Amino acid sequence: MATLKELKGRISSVKSTQKITKAKKMVASAKLRKAQAAAEGARPYAARIEAVVASLAAKVGKSPSAPKLLGGTGKEDVHLLLVLNSDRGLAGAFNANIVKAARDKANELRAAGKEVKFFLVGRKGRPVINRLFPKMTTAQYDTTGFRELAFANAEEIAQQLLDMYQAGEFDVAHLFFSKFRSALLQEATGQQIIPVAIGADTPVSTGAATEYEPDEEAILADLLPRNVTVQIFKGLLENAASEQGASMTAMDNATRNAGDLINRLTIQYNRSRQAAITTELVEIIAGAEAL
């Protein structure tokens, strides 16, 4: 049984931890507002540019003359999974859910006889993926030390991804991130970004003539890489909001649990203290009676 000194030390330690978790919850709550606004503001543009590019892909189909980013390489043998994680923990299952979604997709592709490679952004997902899929990580991007997420970060990741695609290192690229729903709910999401996925609801060309200004090649040369960059930036913004929401929820739960533990330890301390006092009184009375 713990002594009074040990119980008092444990209570003091848990109270110190509670102060830290409460402070981190307040910080995450303050950062969440800005991150949520940024993520929600990027969604309409990202959705629109993706719809435009998907419509173009539906028109050209698998034409040999179509750009590779639009029509693909003509095969789907090698798949690259671009997994966006954070560099920090203490965010509940935020990183674990993204890694699980990527892991399930990788297992599905490998079961279908496809080759899988990984492009990992952030540090938290690396140990698990490298353990489950050894020697399959071909690229990494470190976000440690960035004060604030910028579009330039997405451009760097996209450029590295596009260079690998042009070099023929993969045929299809999938993006994995956590879509922000609310502070209590973040949804791990997978999205094909290279080549553009053609959905069932994508409008198909009616055969009407289309004129391009300045010209079709110049527009596509700028539009297609920009779409990849925008989708990656959207994923980074969604991740930033999801991380703060998950962190706020996790720290709130930790603060509540610390409070419950403090109450239980305090009751145990009081009972032990009362038992010690009672024992001393009994010894004093017994000694007095013996005289």
Predicted local confidence at residue 75, as pLDDT: 84
CA dihedral of residues 278, 282, 284, 287 (deg, nearest 10)? -170
Q: Which CATH number fits domain 34-202+210-250: 2.40.30.30, 3.30.1330.60, 3.40.50.1820, 3.40.1380.10?
A: 3.40.1380.10
262 Cβ contact partners less than 8 Å away, ≥ 6 residues apart: 11, 14, 15, 18
pLDDT at 82 over 90: yes
Question: Is 245 exposed, middle or buried (CB count within 10 Å of its CB: 0-12, 13-18, 19+)?
Answer: buried
Annotated domain spans of the chain? 4-17+252-290, 34-202+210-250
Q: What is the mean pLDDT of residues 127-153?
A: 83
| pTM, full prediction | 0.82
Least confident of 124-138, 203-217, 247-261: 203-217
What are the tens digits of pLDDT across the range 177-188? 999 888 888 888
pLDDT of residue 263: 92
Average pLDDT over residues 149-157: 86
- Whether residue 157 contacts residue 173, with contact meaning beta carbons closer than 8 Å, is answered with no
Chain segment 88-120, per-residue pLDDT in tens = 877 888 888 999 999 999 999 999 999 999 999
CATH code 1.10.1760 for 4-17+252-290: no
| pLDDT surpassing 60 at residue 164 | yes
pLDDT, tens digit (0-9, with 9 covering 90-100), for 35-55:
889 988 888 988 888 888 887
**Model confidence band, residue 175 (pLDDT cutoffs 50, 70, 90):** very high
Q: Is 190 helix (H, G, I), strand (E, B) or coil?
A: strand
Residue 9 has pLDDT above 60, yes or no: yes
